[in-house]
Amino acid sequence: MSLKQYNLSGLASIHSGVTFRGKVEDDPEGDASVIQLRNVAADFSGLQSMPCRAKSSSFRSHNFLREGDLLFVAKGKNNFCLPYKKEYGRAVAVSFFFVIRPLEEMRGAFDPLYLNWYINSQQAQRQLKKGKEGTLTININKKSLGDLIVKLPPLKQQKTIAKINELKTRENQLLKTIQKKREQLISHQLLTFINSHKSTT
C-alpha cells in the first residue's frame, strides 16, 4: 500500500473561529448555533450539549461551518479534533478552535473523517507537541498545525480506517454506559438490602 505525504496546509485551509467580545450570550430568537469548548464531548466524538444560539446576520458567510470541516482545539492541553456534522445545523465555532476546511482542489483526495482520526492519533499528537516545546504557551499556533505531516493511504483505505475508528468510539461509549448502569444497579441493590432491615437502637 503506497502512502502519500502532505503538510496539513497542502490539504486544507486553517482559520480561527469567530471572536466574541465577552461571554457568548444565548439568543432565544437566534437561527445559528455557536459551538464552544464546553459543548464538546470528552471523547471529542461530537457535541454533548446544545450550543448557544445567535442571529446569523451577526456573522460573515465564511464563518459558517460546512460539511467536511473539522474543529481543532487550539488552546489548552487537549489539542484534538472533531468533525462538524450537518445535524448541528447552521453553526459557527468560537476562536478557541481552528477550523480546518478541505481545499477545493483536494476534495475527493482524502476523507475528512480520516484526517480527523489522523490528527487525533498518537503520531500526529507527538508532532504537534513538539511545536509547543520550549515555549511559554500551551497553545498550538496556525503555522505548527499547518506544518503537521499527514500520511494518506488510498481513499478506500482511508474510509475503512475512519469507519473502524467510528465503531471503536461507539463501542467505548456503550461500555461506559453499561458500566454506569451496572454501578447504579449495584448501588441500588445495596441500599435496598440495608433499608430492608430494621435498625435497632
Give the integer Cα–Cα distance in Å for 19 and 41: 22
Tell me the per-residue pLDDT of 95-153, one tens digit each, with 9 for 90 and over.
999 999 999 999 889 999 999 999 999 999 999 988 765 456 678 999 999 999 999 99
Average pLDDT of every residue of the chain: 90
pTM above 0.95, yes or no: no
For domain 4-194, the CATH class is: alpha beta
pLDDT of residue 162: 93
pLDDT of residue 145: 96
pLDDT of residue 1: 66
| Predicted confidence (pLDDT) at residue 177 exceeds the cutoff of 80 | no
Please say whether the dihedral angle defined by the alpha carbons of residues 92, 129, 5 and 114, taken in this order, is positive or negative.
Answer: negative
pLDDT of residue 52: 94
C-alpha distances in Å from residue 162, one per residue of 17, 106, 186: 25, 18, 36
pLDDT of residue 133: 54
Tell me the per-residue pLDDT of 74-83, one tens digit each, with 9 for 90 and over.
988 899 999 9
- Going by C-beta distance under 8 Å and a sequence separation of 6 or more, which residues neighbour residue 37? 73, 76, 94, 96, 97
| Predicted confidence (pLDDT) at residue 65 exceeds the cutoff of 80 | yes
Identify the bridge partners of residue 40 per DSSP, sorted by sequence position: 47
